[in-house]
């Protein structure tokens, strides 16, 4: 599981981790029933505090993305994957609409908004989010 966190980002590490796991599900790299590394294993691999991984896993479990099975570990949930993806897309759409509204109020033209979005998206995703 290839995860890259950006400690310099304004986005908390647990949120970055959540987003990357959700992106791997959306892209098919992770599928329903797949087991995730243990909190301890992933924390060691990412060189972060285990509490950060535990929080990400807990929140993904609450969203129905993961299913915690006690000592067996955390698994990608079966029925919630598409619902989770739609929910995330809807939330992202709202945030983009807000950002575009802010840009429009600053006089940013649509072509420049697209150019800035593409530039920032390339920068964000090439840094691992």
Place of tokens 């920032």: 120
CATH of residue 83: 1.10.10.10
Q: Helix or strand or coil: residue 110?
A: helix
DSSP states along 81-95: HHHHHHHHHHHHHHH
Q: What is the pLDDT of residue 124?
A: 83
Q: What is the mean pLDDT of the chain?
A: 89
pLDDT tens, the chain, 129 aa long: 789 999 999 999 999 999 999 999 888 899 999 999 999 999 999 999 999 999 999 999 988 889 999 899 999 998 655 566 677 788 889 999 999 999 999 999 999 999 999 999 988 887 655
Domain boundaries, position 18: 1-129
Give how many domains the chain has, as a whole number.
1
Is the separation of the CB atoms in 127 and 4 below 8 Å? yes
pTM of the model: 0.63
Q: Is 2 left (phi over 0), alpha (psi -120 to 50) or beta?
A: beta
Q: Helix or strand or coil: residue 37?
A: coil
């Amino acid at each position: 599981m290839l995860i890259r966190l950006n400690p310099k980002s304004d986005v908390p590490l647990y949120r970055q981790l959540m987003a990357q796991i959700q992106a791997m599900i959306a892209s098919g790299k992770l599928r329903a029933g797949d087991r995730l590394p243990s909190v301890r294993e992933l924390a060691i691999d990412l060189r972060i505090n285990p509490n950060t991984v535990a929080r990400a896993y807990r929140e993904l479990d609450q969203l129905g993305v993961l299913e915690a099975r006690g000592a067996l570990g955390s698994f990608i949930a079966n029925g919630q994957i598409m619902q989770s993806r739609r929910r995330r897309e809807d939330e992202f759409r709202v945030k983009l609409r807000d950002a575009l509204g802010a840009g429009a109020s600053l006089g940013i033209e649509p072509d420049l908004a697209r150019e800035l979005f593409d530039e920032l998206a390339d920068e964000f995703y090439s840094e691992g989010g």
